[in-house]
């Protein structure tokens, strides 16, 4: 009997939106060693641009995995924003938010928890007990 393992989905979609002097870099998918480079470039380009940007938001709410090594990108982005008088805010949820707190990154960078819409489900009519 042979075991087969599912390969992780390596897709990463990145969007950069500008509204006035506010830039939002949103990612969707996995951010790890294989996909970090385009995300790193988009974040750093937004933080170091020579324009009138005053605030950069990194939206990680649709990220399913953020590697520990990739958190260093956020710290570099924070420092780049500070040097240019910009504010950096990271929005995250779930396991990504937990990882940012475990690395204590929230002590240096503004990390805002995103609230997922609550799903309204009907209560189940049964309990977890097996009655014989």
| pLDDT reading at 22 higher than 90 | yes
Per-residue pLDDT of 7-16, as tens digits, reads 666 789 999 9
Q: Are 92 and 61 in contact (CB under 8 A)?
A: yes
pLDDT given for residue 118 in this prediction: 46
pTM of the model: 0.78
CA atoms of 90 and 130, how far apart (whole Å): 45
Residues 6+ apart with CB under 8 A from 23: 16, 17, 46, 49, 53, 55, 56, 57
108 has pLDDT over 90: no
Per-residue pLDDT reduced to its tens digit, 38-96: 999 999 999 999 899 999 999 999 999 999 888 899 999 999 999 999 999 999 999 99
Output phi, psi for 104, to 5 deg.
65, 25
């Amino acid at each position: 009997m042979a075991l087969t393992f599912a390969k992780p989905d390596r897709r990463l979609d990145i969007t950069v939106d500008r509204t006035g002097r506010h830039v939002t870099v949103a990612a969707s998918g996995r951010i790890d060693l294989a996909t970090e480079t385009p995300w790193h470039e988009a974040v750093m380009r937004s933080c170091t641009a020579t324009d009138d940007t005053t605030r950069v938001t990194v939206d990680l709410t649709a990220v399913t995995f953020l590697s520990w090594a990739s958190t260093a990108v956020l710290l570099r982005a924070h420092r780049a924003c500070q040097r240019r008088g910009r504010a950096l805010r990271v929005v995250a949820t779930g396991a990504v938010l937990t990882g940012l707190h475990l690395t204590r990154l929230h002590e240096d960078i503004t990390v805002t928890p995103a609230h997922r819409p609550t799903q309204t489900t009907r209560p189940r009519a049964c309990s977890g007990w097996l009655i014989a």
